[in-house]
Structure 1
């Protein structure tokens, strides 16, 4: 009898941010994100110059955990989540650690998108979700083999989840999602009238 097994699995970690560390008040975090965005003139200018929808602190603020205690609490929790994910991935870290490389705010307005991309200089990337109003975009993950499937037929709509070329994950406020940084992902158009707010981050091996 034929045997079929799944090989080279892509892992996705999903948990509640508050499972580790201090409890994070989502309302306080949302207010902090808006306050930072309002004061970050360099970030506003970068977004305008680069046609970036809404606001991101990615290109302007590199020290959120130092500036704002609530972000230090987030990093404390993320350190534990990333450690758990690294253990699941069976990484041999050779006595070194995965450490936070950068963390930034994303405020995506109605009609805004974040195009498909990856994070090539990191090991684990992820996002925790601050505000997800009705109609907010899901996270779209792409099968990393797609570029090698030039002659393959498309999958049926009924194909098992692990065989789909794209996976859509709809997080809730307070969720944290982690994936390996080579995994291509995007945020499709935000159809919510209100802004979608998230905090993204990268971890490197050092």
Structure 2
């Protein structure tokens, strides 16, 4: 018998932690995220309106790399990871390129969560983790075929990761996770006693 893996969903996992000066860079990033959150009234108001427990700059700030050189440096680092992932995916860009078109801060309070969603106008999406206290939420990824499994039984609890319906990835400080933007994902309730801080981003084809 031969089993052939078809239409495989790739998750890219990298890290900034091995970069020279990472600890100082990450500490500065965390301070910058908190300072921006304290000043961004529109972002805090949007989070309250949408029921987001914490802060996000998703709908309020679209110029973080221009606003602060730390985020510009982060963009350069993430551009390298995105290029490596695109190469692995064998994307035919037809003379175009992938461009980061959004970058935003997420500060999730204890008990806070982010419900399942996709990023429909992008090619690649991802997150880099700035603060991951003990108990901080994993990233939950959903099998994209799930809506089509109308009569399928559930998977066995000990099934290999590539056959699970949901996969939970526990990030560490500096972890970079990327996936194709059609992949549904969510953040379960934050069980940490402290805030979980991440910076998310999208790449579009231009």
- Match of 1:180? 180
Q: After superposition, where does 1:1-206 map in structure 2 within 5 Å?
A: 2-17=1-16, 23=22, 25-206=25-206
Deviations 1:94-147 (A, max 9, x none): 011000110000000011000000001000000000000000000000000000
Aligned counterparts of 2:36 and 2:29: Cα–Cα separation in 1: 10
Aligned counterparts of 1:22 and 1:190: Cα–Cα separation in 2: 28
Query: In 2, are the aligned partners of 1:99 and 1:205 still within 8 Å (CA)?
Result: yes
Query: In 2, are the aligned partners of 1:142 and 1:165 still within 8 Å (CA)?
Result: yes
Give the Å deviation of 1:51.
1.8
Deviations 1:156-177 (A, max 9, x none): 1111110000000001011100
Aligned counterparts of 2:20 and 2:202: Cα–Cα separation in 1: 19
Provide the TM-score with structure 1 as the length reference: 0.96
Query: In 2, are the aligned partners of 1:56 and 1:107 still within 8 Å (CA)?
Result: yes
Partner-residue secondary structure (3-state), 1:48? helix
Aligned counterparts of 1:178 and 1:51: Cα–Cα separation in 2: 25
Query: In 2, are the aligned partners of 1:20 and 1:81 still within 8 Å (CA)?
Result: no
Partner-residue secondary structure (3-state), 1:25? helix
| Distance change (3 Å), C-alpha of 1:18 and 1:194 | closer
Give the Å deviation of 1:4.
1.2
Deviations 1:150-200 (A, max 9, x none): 100111111111000000000101110010000000000001010000000
CA RMSD, Structure 1 to Structure 2 (Å): 1.4
| Distance change (3 Å), C-alpha of 1:87 and 1:19 | farther
Provide the TM-score with structure 2 as the length reference: 0.96
Aligned counterparts of 2:120 and 2:44: Cα–Cα separation in 1: 25
The gaps in structure 1 that reach 5 residues or longer are: none
| Distance change (3 Å), C-alpha of 1:177 and 1:114 | same
